[in-house]
Amino acid sequence: MVESRSRTSANVVKVSKDLVFKHLEKNSFLKKAYEELINDAEVKALLHMSNVMAVKRLKYNDHGPVHANIVAGVALELLERLLQHDVVPNSIKDGVVDNLDYVRLIVLYGALLHDIGNAVHRDMHERIGALLAKDILDRILSRLIKDRSLAYLIRQEILHAIYATAYDVRCLSVEAGIVKIADGLDMAEGRARIPYKLGKMDIHALSALSIKSVEIGEGVKRPIAIRVFMNDSSGVFQVEYVFLPKLRTSGLEHYFEVYIATPLGEHRLYP
């Protein structure tokens, strides 16, 4: 066992499909941006086809609208927590934008669009997704940002976030790292990010199905603690082989602690 700290409802949130709306309700610009993207006919079609390809044809887990919303909510939550700990987003640090709402927009759109490449194929879907997103972003960002040059700069940050969700790609921005980590945290109740064969009771399926919930809270020695609750220790496989590789290539790994809680107790898995 490791040291623990008291956790209150004020500083702990549960990963869920509704988390994104908590952040949208507090920010009218972000809410408008969400509605513009999520109601776009092409985006709707791509998210739908991502599930046709991934679930119906490849027998993988969900990669559609529900997953997109879960990742978006987690990403915005992680961003706000890192900002509270004086982490400077790269788009601010490098002079790309000068407004935190634009940082939030990059994270939101990167999260919502990160899996649209699955509408073509699972193979290289991160690269395909970045290519598909280009024209979508040109169209939608023009409704939100009057400065065309600024819109193009923001577009490139979003495309990087989409591309960098690949396991073997190192994130070059805080924003991309946040999206990548958020993607890995959608693993409760069988929603794990290893695309296990549905109905096939191998280690991937058993591990995914054993995870019951994921919480984001305050760390003991680092800003953010991730707690993964499981009813069987097989869920550790999911955390070690799905989530931790994403965390380690995010560029943000030194801000996180990862705990697993099983019927036998809780212990720190990372660092």
Name 261's bridge partners: 229, 266
CA atoms in the 13 A half-sphere facing the CB of 60: 19
Residues in the chain: 271
pLDDT tens over the chain, length 271 residues: 333 444 445 599 999 999 999 999 999 999 999 999 999 999 999 999 998 987 778 777 777 899 999 999 999 999 999 999 999 999 999 999 999 999 999 999 999 999 999 999 988 999 999 999 999 999 999 999 999 999 999 999 999 999 999 999 999 999 999 999 999 999 887 665 444 555 656 676 677 788 999 999 999 999 999 999 999 888 898 899 889 999 999 999 999 999 999 988 999 999 9
Check residue 183 and report its DSSP letter: H
* Sign of the alpha-carbon torsion through 133, 135, 137, 139: negative
Domain residue spans in the chain? 13-270
